[in-house]
Structure 1
Amino acid sequence: MNIQQGATQAPVTGGALLQALFDAMPGRAAFLDVELRYRYVNREFLLALGATEDCVIGKFVEDVLGAQAASLYKAAIQNLSANAPQRLRRFVDDASGARWIEEELRPFTRGGVMQGVVCVARPLADAEQQCESDRLELLESHRTREAIHAAVFDSALDCIVVIDAQGRVVEFNPAASATFGYSREHAIGRTVAELIVPVEMREHHNSGLERFRAGGPASVIGRRVELEAMCADGSRIPVELAITAVGSGPSALFTAHLRDLRPAREAQTQIERQREALYQNEKLAALGSLLAGVAHELNNPLSIVIGQALMLREAAQSHASFDKHFEEFAERGAKIETAANRCARIVKVFLAMARQREAERGRVEIPDLVERVLELLSYGLRTAGIEVTKDVPADLPPLLADSDQLHQVLLNLVVNAKQALEAQPAPRRISIVARADQAAQTLDLHISDNGPGVPDAIRSRIFDPFFTTKPQGVGTGIGLAVSRGLIESHAGSLTLEPPQPGAGAVFAIRLPIDAVSIENGAVAENTATEAQRIKQRRALIVDDEVEIAGLLGEILRRLGFDCEIATSGDHAKQAIAARPADLILCDIRMPNGDGPAFYDWLSVEHPQLTNRIAFVTGDVLGPGADRFIARSGCPIIEKPFTPEDIRLVTDLLCDDAAA
């Protein structure tokens, strides 16, 4: 029969009979040609679709049942054979309701050539539908689990590497690619040993795999271990490894979770550095408190030694013309004064280093600053056999800067040079050269040594906080970082100069020359030379150290003051109540009424005297003293003092009071 003819043409043989047979078949029945066009369909088919014969006959499956059904039909027809009909299950929702159906497709051939396909469909029983639903639900659940697994695998922060029992990589997640430098395509199929296991550990790795395949114990499975792994560029990184085995024998799979430990170790190092910095700050704070007490105890006797030596020298010089022995006494007094002044300067340097305060700009003479630094370090430099050469012209312009901070920077650089030279053979040299560039209005200071210099590998890091090449306990790694910060706060720069053949490290400081510094200096000098005339006035000295009070009284009497001494704040109140003073010099720390308490009493009882008082102290590090000085705004005379210090303060207070 010719099955290619349309529905309006009579079949070649028994068309009516064939249609009757189709209508009698249970379930849906249809005949499709090889192009998947409907040629015959039974009533059940039309009833199920709720369609007429004109809407189906001659139409393609895709037009009648949809693209998904057409795709299933095409796949089934490709596998048809006379002895192997194809069955497929479809879920339909048509005029007969929503249900599962099973279709059987059998070929219709003539002369060995397939002419079409007979399709018979029947609904599945409830049990069959439930099984099919369960199967699809299970399949969907499996697909969901696979999607979740893929999402977790791809988004994991740790490296995940899956290998088979032969050690070949079967999965390599994005984190592993980012960490080790291999793409997933490059890693799949290669052995994990050649990718990330260091050469010296590969034999141990391979023997462990072989032992596990043979049923032996595993040394690392189920444990967390820290070891080194190798990256694509050959570098080594620390990792934490945890391995889980799935299955056993030749079909086993191993999932390795590897965590890059570099961030954790860098964080731990940073914590240790911060802990060390905190420890150093605590030590500095303790040192500051200790220095406050030491300075107070030293400055009192130093003030007496300096003052008495100065007056001894002046008295001896006045009698030297009458007796040559007085000239010798004057020289001895000058030597005592020089030594005591050196002690006083050293104490002041320590105090300046221990103070943690805001910058105080003033006139700074670089030659004097260099001398004070070298004087402080003279003993250590001399015993280390280090020769220091200076080329610092005396006529360098002054700077408007914080003297203590510049002193700290210069001290750090010279100490670093000294430490770099200690392991070097003689001769050991440090050079300090200063020059003023008038055109650029800058002052340049170079500190160099003939040591080993700074290696190229670390030149870019030496100014990083806490970076140091010194042994444990020798350095903190903050000296250069702090020094650069201090210089930059003065609008300057601190740099490491390029290496020179045969030379060590060369550090260059560049600071701006401010014309205001010169003007301020000139005003200060003029002020210091004016108002030499002091009328006979009354001065009250308040100090529990009798010798200090006596020395102050002697200096003030030479300046024309009538002096009275009070040994405590309470005693001073009685003296002021009896007779007001033109000038008050008061110690800060005293028993039976200290300086701040006395000042507060003056503010209430005699407020006009609060601008005639100056405080003499050997301790300005204590928080109480520091806050009081800032609150009162009164002049401060730091021990040990000189007669010139006292004269300048008296000029200031008496002129202010007269104004």
Structure 2
Amino acid sequence: MTIPAGDAADTTTRQLNTHEEHARVYAAVIESALDSVVVVDEKGVVVSINPAAEATFGYSKAEAVGREISHLIVPDHLKAAHDNGMARYRATNTPHVLGRRVEMDARRKDGSIIPVELAITEVNLASGRLFTANLRDLSASRAAAAEIERQRDALHQSEKLSAIGSLLAGIAHELNNPLSIVVGQSGILREELQAGGPRPSSADRAARIETAAQRCARIIRTFLAIARQRKPEKRAIEIAPLVEGSIELVLYGIRSNGVVLDRDIESGLPPVFADPDQVQNVIVNLLVNATQALEQMGGERRVLVTARRDGDMLSVVVADNGPGIRAENRERIFDAFFTTKPEGAGTGIGLPISRNLALAQGGSLTLLESAAGAHFELRLPVDASASTGATPDEARPAAAPMPPRLRAIIVDDEAEIAELVAEILERAGIDCETASNGSEARARIEAAGDGFDIVVSDLRMPEMDGSALFEWLRDNRPALAESMLFMTGDSLGPNAGRFLATSGRPVMEKPFVPDDLLRHLSALLAEQALKRMRNG
């Protein structure tokens, strides 16, 4: 038999007419609710909890009812605020969290802390006030968000590794060229010295060796900046050397494909406030894309990199004279996994990741309208606090003079590096000893008592590495641990990166020149002097 709609509505109304029927329906709703519901009285004593609350917090109804909620689910660090809030509301009737959704910590029976979303409603009865707390466990959603972030980082790293693979041949070529200069010129210099001493050309040969070695170091640092995985660190950076380093990294691939690269970088550009590694990732990706877009094209092939200031932003444009982006694809090129490259030649995540990196700097990455070719513009915020009157070299502080009669121990398993560092520091007036690993350094430090003022240590060494030496110093010679400078060629390793981030100690990447070492050491000594002044 079919009940008319009007009659059905009347029947439903009649079913909820009595207080008992209302109570029965609402009890069923609360009992079946997916979120936790806890009811407390004016004193904060639990009156009732639903099955979801039992499952979430680990208390049975019999265990919870009659106990103060602050003793059940309020963490220790929030108890004072909870008690004060309850007392204030009872005294003033001024709500603080009523009617609002707030996120906070809650404690389970086993003592574990979980994030929850809380909403409290007041219920006025003839017998007094009750408070109904609806709590939603956010653990799963937080874990899901963290997993999404982890997968995003993994995707980013995958794209970086893909880019690194395509750059390796070019990097090998770009390193072999200056290394050929180093090997050849040093061989001739050695022959000149063996033949009777320095010649007028010896100083020039030494300068060429130094320039070529610095070029190798620059290429390696640029490569490591792209490859390393770490949290972003924004700071004031000069864009011109960053662009040049990116070009140097991909220059072999550009030239070997017969592409001409031009630069038009405005002089005197102000610094931008961004993470240098992430910006370099974007520029390298745009250069690689531009080169690949020209591979199948005949005739003259060109890439132009320009950098200009535009108000409070700095604009870097990478433009090619290739076929450009078809109109129907313009809206999709920043979509994940969309690619116009042949199968196997592109992942479709380079541009989306690059745009996200640009946005993370407070900037943007866009495709500009152009008559021919693809023109991508990276915009970055100018660092308002940085001075624009000096070039990077002019702004670079000179090494401060070293205080007299300091004593340092240099720790490196490469004896020639330890001896080189010792020679540089001894020229600056610091007495030095060397050790081949942390164990040897520890023995010498123990024997010397308080005889050392500075420790310069490699990070990776046999027997006892730099991190283990630092931990020992922190426990046994805390003042000396605060005067420790690390040098490493392994900043790419995840363990090294994590340790350096947590230790708080300065690090100097190999290879380095004497000025780099003295500048790091001057900064370290100045920091220690400032701490001593503050401590009286």
| Band of TM-score, shorter chain | 0.5 to 0.7
State the match for 2:265 in structure 1: 392
State the match for 1:637 in structure 2: 508
After superposition, the Cα gap between the structure-2 partners of 1:283 and 1:491, relative to the gap in structure 1 and judged at 3 Å, is closer
State the match for 1:428 in structure 2: 301
After superposition, the Cα gap between the structure-2 partners of 1:341 and 1:524, relative to the gap in structure 1 and judged at 3 Å, is closer
State the identity %.
43
State the match for 1:628 in structure 2: 499
Aligned AA for 1:454?
I
State the match for 1:355 in structure 2: 228
Q: Judge conservation of contact 1:398–1:513 (CA < 8 Å) in 2.
A: yes
Residue of structure 1 aligned with 2:441, choices 554, 568, 572: 572
Aligned AA for 1:372?
G
How far 1:434 moved relative to its partner?
1.5
List aligned pairs for 1:155-170, cutoff 5 A.
Answer: none
Residue of structure 1 aligned with 2:356, choices 485, 508, 513: 485
After superposition, the Cα gap between the structure-2 partners of 1:607 and 1:523, relative to the gap in structure 1 and judged at 3 Å, is farther
Q: Judge conservation of contact 1:433–1:447 (CA < 8 Å) in 2.
A: yes
- SS of the residue corresponding to residue 528 of structure 1 reads coil
Residue of structure 1 aligned with 2:326, choices 437, 455, 458: 455
Aligned AA for 1:548?
I
How far 1:484 moved relative to its partner?
0.8
Residue of structure 2 aligned with 1:515, choices 377, 384, 406: 384
Q: Judge conservation of contact 2:236–2:271 (CA < 8 Å) in 1.
A: yes
Q: Distance in 2 between matches of 1:552 and 1:469?
A: 51
After superposition, the Cα gap between the structure-2 partners of 1:523 and 1:533, relative to the gap in structure 1 and judged at 3 Å, is farther
How far 1:516 moved relative to its partner?
1.8
How far 1:529 moved relative to its partner?
2.6
Q: Judge conservation of contact 1:534–1:559 (CA < 8 Å) in 2.
A: no
1:324-383: per-residue Cα shift (whole Å, max 9, x none)?
963312222222222222222222222111212121122322221121111112211112
Q: Distance in 1 between matches of 2:213 and 2:431?
A: 28
1:566-598: per-residue Cα shift (whole Å, max 9, x none)?
111111111111223121101111111111111
After superposition, the Cα gap between the structure-2 partners of 1:409 and 1:549, relative to the gap in structure 1 and judged at 3 Å, is same
Does 2:416 match 1:547? yes
- The answer for unaligned runs of 5 or more in structure 2 is 1-149, 531-536
Larger-Rg structure: 1
Q: Judge conservation of contact 2:399–2:515 (CA < 8 Å) in 1.
A: no
Q: Distance in 2 between matches of 1:641 and 1:496?
A: 39
Residue of structure 2 aligned with 1:653, choices 524, 529, 532: 524
Q: Judge conservation of contact 2:412–2:436 (CA < 8 Å) in 1.
A: yes
After superposition, the Cα gap between the structure-2 partners of 1:448 and 1:357, relative to the gap in structure 1 and judged at 3 Å, is same
How far 1:519 moved relative to its partner?
8.1
How far 1:444 moved relative to its partner?
1.4
Q: Distance in 2 between matches of 1:495 and 1:386?
A: 23
After superposition, the Cα gap between the structure-2 partners of 1:287 and 1:607, relative to the gap in structure 1 and judged at 3 Å, is farther
Does 2:240 match 1:382? no
After superposition, the Cα gap between the structure-2 partners of 1:397 and 1:335, relative to the gap in structure 1 and judged at 3 Å, is same
State the match for 2:74 in structure 1: none
Does 2:431 match 1:562? yes
Aligned AA for 2:429?
G
Q: Judge conservation of contact 2:239–2:271 (CA < 8 Å) in 1.
A: yes
Q: CA RMSD in A?
A: 3.6
Q: Judge conservation of contact 1:587–1:595 (CA < 8 Å) in 2.
A: yes
Q: Judge conservation of contact 1:556–1:563 (CA < 8 Å) in 2.
A: yes
Residue of structure 2 aligned with 1:339, choices 186, 207, 212: 212
Q: Judge conservation of contact 2:271–2:388 (CA < 8 Å) in 1.
A: no
How far 1:394 moved relative to its partner?
2.5
Q: Judge conservation of contact 1:582–1:654 (CA < 8 Å) in 2.
A: no
Q: Distance in 2 between matches of 1:635 and 1:482?
A: 30
After superposition, the Cα gap between the structure-2 partners of 1:466 and 1:344, relative to the gap in structure 1 and judged at 3 Å, is same
After superposition, the Cα gap between the structure-2 partners of 1:658 and 1:521, relative to the gap in structure 1 and judged at 3 Å, is farther
Q: Distance in 1 between matches of 2:233 and 2:389?
A: 14
- SS of the residue corresponding to residue 337 of structure 2 reads coil
1:78-104: per-residue Cα shift (whole Å, max 9, x none)?
xxxxxxxxxxxxxxxxxxxxxxxxxxx
After superposition, the Cα gap between the structure-2 partners of 1:443 and 1:590, relative to the gap in structure 1 and judged at 3 Å, is same
How does the TM-score come out when normalised to structure 1? 0.50
After superposition, the Cα gap between the structure-2 partners of 1:481 and 1:526, relative to the gap in structure 1 and judged at 3 Å, is closer
Aligned AA for 1:493?
S
State the match for 2:290 in structure 1: 417
Q: Judge conservation of contact 1:288–1:621 (CA < 8 Å) in 2.
A: no
After superposition, the Cα gap between the structure-2 partners of 1:473 and 1:401, relative to the gap in structure 1 and judged at 3 Å, is same
Does 2:400 match 1:531? yes
State the match for 2:340 in structure 1: 469
How far 1:658 moved relative to its partner?
2.6
After superposition, the Cα gap between the structure-2 partners of 1:328 and 1:481, relative to the gap in structure 1 and judged at 3 Å, is same
Q: Distance in 1 between matches of 2:159 and 2:351?
A: 19
- SS of the residue corresponding to residue 410 of structure 1 reads helix
Residue of structure 2 aligned with 1:504, choices 341, 352, 373: 373
1:161-218: per-residue Cα shift (whole Å, max 9, x none)?
xxxxxxxxxxxxxxxxxxxxxxxxxxxxxxxxxxxxxxxxxxxxxxxxxxxxxxxxxx
How far 1:525 moved relative to its partner?
6.6
How far 1:517 moved relative to its partner?
3.2
Q: Distance in 2 between matches of 1:287 and 1:509?
A: 19
After superposition, the Cα gap between the structure-2 partners of 1:341 and 1:608, relative to the gap in structure 1 and judged at 3 Å, is same
- SS of the residue corresponding to residue 388 of structure 1 reads strand
Q: Distance in 2 between matches of 1:604 and 1:414?
A: 49
How far 1:611 moved relative to its partner?
1.4
- SS of the residue corresponding to residue 389 of structure 1 reads strand
Q: Distance in 2 between matches of 1:607 and 1:622?
A: 26
How far 1:537 moved relative to its partner?
1.5
How far 1:457 moved relative to its partner?
0.8
Q: Distance in 2 between matches of 1:275 and 1:395?
A: 40
Q: Judge conservation of contact 1:538–1:561 (CA < 8 Å) in 2.
A: yes
- SS of the residue corresponding to residue 510 of structure 1 reads strand
State the match for 1:598 in structure 2: 469
Q: Distance in 2 between matches of 1:465 and 1:364?
A: 29
- SS of the residue corresponding to residue 335 of structure 1 reads helix
How far 1:522 moved relative to its partner?
9.5
Residue of structure 2 aligned with 1:405, choices 267, 278, 282: 278
How does the TM-score come out when normalised to structure 2? 0.61
Q: Distance in 1 between matches of 2:385 and 2:243?
A: 22
How far 1:506 moved relative to its partner?
0.9
- SS of the residue corresponding to residue 573 of structure 1 reads helix
Q: Judge conservation of contact 1:490–1:511 (CA < 8 Å) in 2.
A: yes
Q: Judge conservation of contact 1:391–1:433 (CA < 8 Å) in 2.
A: yes
After superposition, the Cα gap between the structure-2 partners of 1:280 and 1:656, relative to the gap in structure 1 and judged at 3 Å, is closer
Q: Distance in 2 between matches of 1:445 and 1:283?
A: 22
- The answer for unaligned runs of 5 or more in structure 1 is 1-273
**How many residues in Structure 1 have an aligned counterpart in Structure 2?**
362
1:241-265: per-residue Cα shift (whole Å, max 9, x none)?
xxxxxxxxxxxxxxxxxxxxxxxxx
Q: Distance in 2 between matches of 1:390 and 1:285?
A: 27
After superposition, the Cα gap between the structure-2 partners of 1:387 and 1:285, relative to the gap in structure 1 and judged at 3 Å, is closer
Q: Judge conservation of contact 1:409–1:486 (CA < 8 Å) in 2.
A: yes
After superposition, the Cα gap between the structure-2 partners of 1:447 and 1:279, relative to the gap in structure 1 and judged at 3 Å, is closer
Q: Distance in 1 between matches of 2:345 and 2:363?
A: 28
Aligned AA for 2:434?
I
